[in-house]
Amino acid sequence: MPPATSPHGYALKPSEARALQNAEVVFWVGEALTPDLGRKIGSIAGDSRVVTLGEAPGTGHLPSREAAVFGAQEAPHGHHDHEDHDDHGHAEEEHAHEEDAHAGHAHGPDDPHLWLSPDNAAAWLDHIATVLAETDPENAETYAANAEAARATLESTVAQARETLAPHHEDRYIVFHDAYQYLEASFELQVVGAIQVSAATPPSPGRLAELREAAAEAGVTCIFAEPQFDPRLVATVSQGTELPVAELDPLGATLTTGAGFYPELISELAGRIADCAAD
């Protein structure tokens, strides 16, 4: 998928479908994030080994949030269920929930933006290296060495991001859609609410009004837009205030893809949050 597109409802081009058909291994986060792709993998990549990273050992999950303002009705992000979802019965139940959510592209019971947890990224490094080594045993040592090097880079990146964000633990933010919960939990950020529940669910006038009121009451520091979505919705919430509006992109659309992409994404997000809070 091109980095600048939303994964929630992306339609494959013929060339992308051919690439999927020819793949020996398909890695994806899971059906809750890309429901349309889930249906295509089974039909197009039927002979491929499909690896759902959201079900990988060591993956932590947080429940989806529906409210415009994150408050007492939802567990604070320091106390969410963060257990591994490798139990077979739970996986079947989760799949059923995801199927029910497809029509509206809702998130389902679990927040699918799993990659914004550096802990999940570290767990996935090991899992990806193991799968690649099993698929291509002649290069197993290379995959293991690359995973070890990537883990060291990730640890350094996370330490720097913590230092960048440490002065801003008490600042409060509003985000465009609720994609950053894992980042909040990892770096002790205070997000008051989200303009949209998900990327595919437009906000009601009542939701926008509730956010404007919450922004005033909570002393919100900054509102974050996203490059893939209509900036007028952000303007509706910030109207009549002097709140700075900055762009935050959980997909890293402008970043160079490759081995350094994920560390750069975490650094970019941390820097943009800190810069907006400091304005």
| pLDDT string in tens for the chain (279-residue length) | 777 777 777 788 999 999 999 999 999 999 888 888 888 898 898 889 999 999 999 999 999 998 999 973 443 344 344 444 444 333 333 333 333 333 334 456 899 999 999 999 999 999 999 999 999 999 999 999 999 999 999 999 999 999 999 999 999 999 998 999 999 999 999 999 999 877 667 888 899 999 999 999 999 999 999 887 777 888 888 887 888 999 999 999 899 989 999 999 999 999 999 999 887
Q: Token digits for 26?
A: 């398909």
> Quick one: pLDDT at residue 36?
81
Tokens 């956010």, residue located: 211
Domain residues for 248?
167-278
Q: Give the torsion through C-alpha atoms of 60, 273, 77, 201, to 10 deg.
A: -80
Same domain, 171 and 239: yes
Does the residue 1 lie in any domain? no
Give the Cα-Cα-Cα angle 52, 269, 242 (nearest 5 degrees). 130
Same domain, 131 and 258: no
**CB 116, CB 183: distance < 8 Å:** yes
Task: Check which CATH number belongs to the domain holding 192 and give it.
Answer: 3.40.50.1980
Same domain, 177 and 103: no
In the chain, how many domains are there? 2
C-alpha distance from residue 1 to each of 13, 149, 225 (Å): 9, 26, 21
Same domain, 216 and 152: no
**CB 197, CB 178: distance < 8 Å:** yes
Same domain, 115 and 145: yes
**Termini Cα distance of the chain:** 34
Same domain, 272 and 186: yes
> Quick one: pLDDT at residue 74?
44
Cα–Cα distance between 204 and 68 in angstroms, integer? 10
Same domain, 145 and 225: no
